């Protein structure tokens, strides 16, 4: 089977992008967690913890982990607030299967519900969720503005949104150094560990296609997030976008 060109996939739109992304995550699901922690040196764990603090979880609350993948954001939420419930939505059945294995191992099947779905068309009623998290997922959505409108639609007034993303590094020196890591180290380690260099060449290509903090924050405001703002984590290697659904 020939794999799509990663640059082309990062520029693809609509259902073709979704199908390519879904197939790619299905292929790497088994090695995703290991590579994630390896390639970020474990800092992804700290970034998710920081983001979860901002969600201000409460017992009995229902939270969405959108583009949940293997569920590291969902598990971080449950560690912080064991009394909440998490709905984990993702396009890739392979990633959701891995999440299922982890949920059973952690004996948290009663607290995490897995749902195959598309972030641009969420299967929830308006104003039905207490908070919403997206970890390194929205970069892959063809229509990010539409996904943000959906986030605004499904959240209750006052509900918090915390999006982690690789949104480009503002500091030119750090950006150049990271560019080398992204172009050379990441695809090589990705290929050695997962046998799939395409996915790890797609990653930097998709970061390049991200619209930038300014336009993204404007879309958040348009979707009803009154205090939309971006916090740079580890010098901007990761960005945390935060907002509260207006009342
Ligand atoms: C890089 S992984 C992130 C997984 C997890 N959130 C984390 O923090 O490690 C991106 C995930 O986004 C999912 N995804 C991509 N496009 C999607 C869409 N349109 N709707 C829902 N999930 C999507 C992929 O299947 C994949 O599991």
State yes or no: pLDDT of 125 exceeds 60. Answer: yes
3-state secondary structure 26-49: HHHHHHHHHHHHHHCCCHHHHHHH
Instruction: Please give the distance of CA 11 from its chain centroid, rounded to a whole number.
Output: 18
Predicted confidence (pLDDT) at residue 1 exceeds the cutoff of 60: no
Q: What is the pTM of this model?
A: 0.94
Question: pLDDT band for position 2 (50/70/90)?
Answer: low
Å from CA of 202 to ligand 1 middle: 14
Q: Among residues of the chain, what percentage have pLDDT more than 70?
A: 99
Per the listing, tokens 């699901």 go with 29
CB 70 within 8 A of CB 102: yes
**240 vs 29, 58, 93, CA distance in Å?**
24, 21, 26
Ligand 1-lining residues (CB < 6 angstroms): 18, 21-22, 25, 36, 67-69, 72-73, 89-92, 95, 118-120, 135-137, 140-141
- All structural domains of the chain, each given as residue ranges with its CATH number in brackets, are 6-244 (3.40.50.150)
* Cα 67 to middle of ligand 1, angstroms: 4
Which ligand 1 atom is at minimum distance from the Cα of 36? Answer: 9
The confidence score (pLDDT) of residue 183 equals 84
Name the helix (H) or strand (E) containing 130: strand 129-135
Query: Which residue has the CA at smallest separation from atom 10 of ligand 1?
Result: 137
What pLDDT sits at residue 175?
92
Nearest ligand 1 atom, CA 118: 20
The structure tokens listed for 73 are: 């954001």
From residue 155, how far is each of 41, 138, 233 by CA, in Å?
33, 17, 25
CA dist 176 → 138, 142, 170, 222 (Å): 24, 26, 10, 33
Give strand pairing partners of 108.
none
pLDDT(201) > 90: no
164 Cα nearest atom in ligand 1: 8
């Amino acid at each position: 089977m020939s794999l799509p060109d990663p640059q082309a996939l990062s520029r693809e739109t609509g259902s073709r992008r979704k199908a390519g992304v879904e197939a790619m995550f299905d292929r790497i699901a088994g090695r995703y967690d290991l590579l994630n922690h390896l390639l970020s040196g474990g800092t992804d764990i700290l970034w998710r913890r920081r983001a979860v603090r901002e969600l201000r979880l409460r017992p009995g609350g229902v939270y969405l982990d959108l583009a949940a993948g293997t569920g590291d954001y969902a598990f971080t939420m449950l560690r912080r607030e064991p009394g909440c419930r998490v709905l984990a939505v993702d396009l890739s059945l392979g990633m959701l299967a891995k999440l299922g294995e982890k949920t059973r191992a952690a004996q948290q099947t009663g607290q995490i519900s897995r749902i195959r779905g598309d972030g641009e068309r969420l299967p929830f009623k308006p104003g039905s969720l207490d908070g919403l998290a997206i970890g390194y997922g929205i970069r892959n959505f063809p229509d990010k503005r539409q996904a943000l409108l959906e986030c605004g639609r499904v959240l209750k007034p006052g509900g918090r949104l915390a999006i982690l993303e690789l949104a480009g590094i503002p500091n030119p020196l750090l950006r150049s150094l990271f560019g080398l890591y992204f172009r050379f180290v990441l695809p090589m380690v990705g290929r050695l560990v997962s046998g799939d260099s395409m996915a790890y060449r797609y990653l930097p290509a998709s970061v390049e296609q991200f619209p930038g903090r300014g336009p993204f924050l404007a879309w958040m405001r348009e979707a009803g997030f009154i205090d939309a703002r971006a916090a740079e984590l580890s010098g901007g290697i990761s960005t945390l976008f935060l907002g509260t659904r207006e009342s």
